[in-house]
Amino acid sequence: MVSAATTQINIKKVNADRITDTNDILAAEEPLEIKLEYGPATARKQKSLSVTMRTPGNDAELATGFLFTEGIISRFSDIKSITTLLENIVQVSLAEDINLDMAKLERHFYTTSSCGVCGKSSIDAVRTVCNILVSGDELRFPASLIYKLPDILRSRQDVFDSTGGLHASALFDVSGQLLLTREDVGRHNALDKLVGAALEEDLLPLDKYLLLLSGRASFELVQKATMAGIRIIAAVGAPSSLAVELAEESGITLIGFLRGERFNIYSNAERIDI
């Protein structure tokens, strides 16, 4: 499968003592510049907010999720329009009555596909204030269901099947139904796309769902999940120490090393029924 999210190249494949010419499909990685238009109708301003390396596709969702998880918008209606100016540039026009925290706009940073917090001067700078209200905390997930989730996600990772090179974020309800999934070369982009899609569909807060990460659980992903109201995060890979610390502080159940019929619970284990 070749799409905007993939690219095909010619390679030489070595197998023991044989070398053959063949084709390979790679996950596409291109820069996306997010521009912001804001202010009253009589004095609109523009600012280049961020450049991120991403897999093309779902760019509007990526921009929406990024603005939300960075605390720049609080609801989908804060966005007046999203326009693709060029292939790798999107402009988000905010509603005219939105009062921006200009300090947030000064966080103009370059983000690579492996780091969503590069350029931020300290850990304190990324401890975004979370204003989202969650409902009563009655969420419970049985371990027997959690064991099955990676295989369900894997069956829906179309681009990963072609390339083997993408991260995925997915939302599951308590019955194990997969509601949303997004892929990207950047794990933080995959989650921003997911949150952006959920914001568009008016699903926030996401306190009734489990977030599944196809890789490791980093601080930045837990921070973005906190902004979206997520209460349970399960990762196929390892969590970082700071991710565990933030999950504990935020009341999030954090699961790592979800493989087969085993996983580790690093914080707030009471939501998991064994």
Q: What are the catalytic residues?
A: 115
Q: Which of 23, 86, 76, 11 is nearest to 56 (CA)?
A: 86
Q: Quick one: residue 166, left, alpha or beta (phi over 0 = left, psi -120 to 50 = alpha)?
A: beta
CB count in 10 Å sphere of residue 140: 12
Beta bridge mates, 18: 15
Q: Is 58 left (phi over 0), alpha (psi -120 to 50) or beta?
A: left
Rounded Cα–Cα distance for residues 168 and 182 (Å): 6
Q: Of 83, 82, 64, 84, nearest to 74 (Cα)?
A: 64
Q: Are 30 and 88 in contact (CB under 8 A)?
A: yes
- Whole-angstrom Cα distance, residue 106 to residue 11? 43
